[in-house]
A = this chain, B = another copy of it.
Amino acid sequence: MLKAAVLGATGNVGQIFVQLLEGHPWFETSVVAASERSKGRTYGEASRWRQSTPIPEDAAQMNVVDITPKAVKDVDIVFSALPSDVARKAEEDFAKAGYVIVSNASAHRMDPDVPMLNPEINCSHVSLIEEQRRKRKWDGAIVTNPNCSTTVLSLALKPIYDNFGINSVIVSTMQAISGAGYPGVASMDIVDNVIPYIGGEEQKMETEMQKILGSPSEPADFKVSASCHRVPTIDGHMEAVFVDTKKKAEPKAVAEAMENFVGEPQKLNLPSAPPKPVVVMKEKDRPQTRLDRMEGKGMSTVVGRIRKDPVLNGVKFLALGHNTIRGAAGCGVLNAEYLKAKKFI
């Protein structure tokens, strides 16, 4: 078993990391680190565990340590669920100390020498690690996963991109409250309400997508327009997508391309890889957020209602994914599994 540290372990994504690592065949949570506030308390006390499965007993007893390489010792891999402002420096410190950091923070995602992996799509980008080590003169590595909305959507776009080419993408999201962390969205702001704004989200979707779908050195050449909205759901980001394709893309052909899509994680049989990265539903009123977000243990993107678009040369459809699993901690764990399979850890 490889020993893992979780940075930012008391937050919502941090808790999902700890939850996903429980019973994991390769990794075990051996250190939990969090901010000053939690210092000197056990993880059980500090986390105010808010998941619907019980807190793992081992983790509950651990003492929370500082977010520094000095305090986090003797681990084989570091998962980061840090807020972005803290992440920038902290993750660099860990990389300098020789650790491989698998991070959900946005701080380093767009750095040209940092792989932003959604492993079914672009695991070849791990090649950037070499460049990163050379340029930054460290032995560790920072590997990131994309923003939650981008992760979910990029899985659905990959088979379109490969089979039909993409000129542009317009996307309107209906995002769950857990995406804002805890305490995050005030209940007065979301019960019987839609908030038509999520800070930084549109800009992330409009730039990360091309990095993921491109080559390690060159982003993909298409434009994305995003409008991001918060709706009263707990987990699961639903996205209405309109794609202008280079080649003619009949809905049926698009559905087939999605259903046939598999990536390296499936070929390598990685523990967290869903059987199908993209699941296509036929029912006219699916996917639905509450019913379908756990598809593939929360690791699949579920697509439905693929239909010809009357405005663009292409298709429109719905894509749904679990924002804190596939869109955050789950993607991080899958990235770590890939890194291990490829001997980076």
Contact = CB atoms under 8 A, between A and B. Distances in A.
A183 B182 contact: no
A206 B311 CA distance: 10
Interface string A216-232: 00000001110101011
B224 A310 contact: yes
In the complex, the count of this chain's copies comes to: 4
A289 interface: yes
B310 A225 contact: yes
Contacts of A177: 187-188, 191
Nearest to A177: B187
A36 interface: no
Nearest to A238: B194
Interface in A275-292: 284-292
A183 B177 CA distance: 14
A253 B202 CA distance: 22
A246 to B, nearest CB: 15
Contacts of A223: 310-311
A225 B12 contact: no
Given A172-B172, A291-B50, A186 B182 contact: yes
A31 interface: no
A288 B293 CA distance: 22
Interface residues of A, number: 62
**Which of A52, A53, A174, A290 neighbours the largest number of chain B CB atoms within 10 Å of its CB?**
A290
A321 to B, nearest CB: 13
A238 B196 contact: yes
A192 B191 contact: yes
A156 interface: no
A23 interface: no
A284 B229 CA distance: 12
A130 interface: no
**Which of A170, A196, A223, A305 neighbours the largest number of chain B CB atoms within 10 Å of its CB?**
A196
Interface string A187-208: 1111111111100000000100
A293 to B, nearest CB: 8
A224 B183 CA distance: 33
Interface in A252-300: 284-294
B192 A290 contact: yes
Contacts of A244: 311
A293 B54 CA distance: 11
B232 A191 contact: yes
A240 B232 contact: no
8 contacts: A52-B292, A170-B311, A187-B232, A188-B234, A196-B240, A196-B285, A224-B310, A227-B240
Interface of A: 12, 50-53, 168-170, 172, 174, 177-178, 182-197, 206, 223-225, 227, 229, 231-234, 236, 238, 240, 242, 244, 284-294, 304-305, 309-312, 316, 318
Given A177-B191, A182-B186, A196-B305, 9 more contacts: A52-B291, A170-B242, A174-B174, A185-B188, A191-B192, A192-B233, A192-B289, A196-B287, A234-B290
